[in-house]
A and B are shown apart, each in its own frame.
Chain A
């Protein structure tokens, strides 16, 4: 991440690893109280003695007392098929089972593989990202060069982001399907472009306005045309701002795609896996899809981060 730059790797990594280890530790500890009721129900069904008997009677007892009274059954909570809170190992196992293991068997594109669903989500995200970034950049150029656009677009761009897109998402999908757009990808890409264009717009307006008056004056003394000023000064000057907002934008685009998949009965994509996992009561599938989404977000931001450093290095700017 950003602040690791320039510091020796080990020094920066140690605190992060410690915090990560602490999070995993707390997670493991939390599994016992979260799962104790389900665990006791399960072992009771296999004939084990549980105090107090009966799942209805246990509802009145706190989880801590249940754990103290049934110490030998606490471990059962760590190996449930349908846990309220799975252990990190269970999530990792499920993630591996639906990605690496299936890929090794040559079934990476099967409907049950998370690689396939990640690809569906990634595709819509990238389309939305391209669309949103284009709208953001064009809007920013209009705002910088036209006062009417500045006055009329900017307030509505802000208002557009305060409208929760999830409310609109089902409508966008209804309208798109009525208009004859069969592909599920189009409405998802629109939703993700809606979330993605704003950071790009704001960043690019800042970036295109970043050249100082003296620099603009210098180009005027060179008798540079408006287009030349744009291409040789404003555009290169905006690149650092562009990359910073692209990183925010791609994360927003991914959120948009997943939001577009959640409420709409989609059948493929990571959001759809979460939805289906909820309907079929398989929490492990939900957690695995969540982690796949997190990994995808991390990869996308990292790719942009590396591109940013390479580009800015080439352009002679400090990344």
Chain B
């Protein structure tokens, strides 16, 4: 019981601190903007730990965070092998191929107004489809190793990036294009100096969606067959073998990878699209 009271007490205190911080004079500062969500997150973890211990939940169902942390520290070698297989080989290679293909396709499509009109609605439709379902087909076509995982990632990220890039390329207004024409700029000069930079906020929107999709694709594809390593492989076998703490350690890795990929994209976006209104005053 004492664990439950501790959890509740911690929650109330943390809540109070957050309210005090948000209303205090420093409420607009960077420190508070970081501190408040951190306190919120720590509270969730403490509640989880206290709840599991206080209610005597079996670690086979839901291990406490402290046990997950121990397993994480003890099995870094396995986690690293899985990380290399799923993230570095599957997800990132697929992302690189998918992004390159989508941007090149977008630039080609953009040259024809007819193609743009035809492909944009279809691309929008495809971007909304549950494309992860192609995972078993790709595993059948490309085998068990990382190639099939990269293929699933390519198919999943292609349409969101294509649609966003095509829209971005159309985002310059007539005045700006006219200006380039008065400079006597060629098609490629206009593309590289005006239209591609102007498309970047849209491209980064697509990239942020693609980062999450890439991890989902790489992990799901491993459920349909993989060599005896990889995050999806470890999760699906771990659930069967009741090594739930290792599964949670893999989930922690997935969360860290997902968050840092997103953070990396947001960081690059800030530097590339510094001129955009949404990035000012930050």
Contacts and interface: CB of A to CB of B under 8 A. Distances in A.
Interface stretch (B100-108, B194-202, B215-223): B215-223
Interface string A136-169: 0000000000011001111110110111111110
A130 interface: no
Given A151-B33, A175-B61, A167 B254 contact: yes
A50 interface: no
Interface residues of B, number: 63
Given A151-B33, A152-B40, A167 B235 contact: yes
B135 A16 contact: no
A293 B254 contact: no
A20 interface: yes
Contacts of B27: 147
Contact of A147 (B23, B232, B255): B23
Contact of B133 (A12, A156, A165, A271): A271
A114 interface: no
Interface size class of A (residues with CB under 8 A): 35 or more
A171 B247 contact: yes
Interface in A284-304: 286-287, 289-290, 293-294, 297-298, 301
B260 to A, nearest CB: 9
Contact of A262 (B122, B135, B247): B135
B259 interface: yes
Contacts of A298: 125
Best-surrounded residue of B21, B36, B119, B129 (most CB of chain A within 10 A): B129
Contact of A165 (B216, B231, B262): B216
Contacts of A154: 37
B239 A174 contact: yes
B114 A151 contact: no
Given A174-B244, A271-B133, A293-B129, A16 B122 contact: yes
B250 A167 contact: yes
26 contacts: A3-B121, A16-B118, A16-B122, A20-B122, A23-B122, A84-B140, A84-B141, A148-B36, A152-B36, A152-B40, A156-B40, A159-B259, A162-B255, A162-B259, A164-B212, A164-B219, A167-B251, A170-B236, A175-B62, A255-B130, A275-B136, A278-B139, A278-B224, A287-B137, A290-B133, A298-B125
Interface of A: 1-4, 12, 15-20, 23, 84, 147-148, 151-156, 158-159, 161-168, 170-171, 174-175, 178-179, 248, 251, 254-255, 258-259, 262-263, 270-271, 274-275, 277-278, 283, 286-287, 289-290, 293-294, 297-298, 301
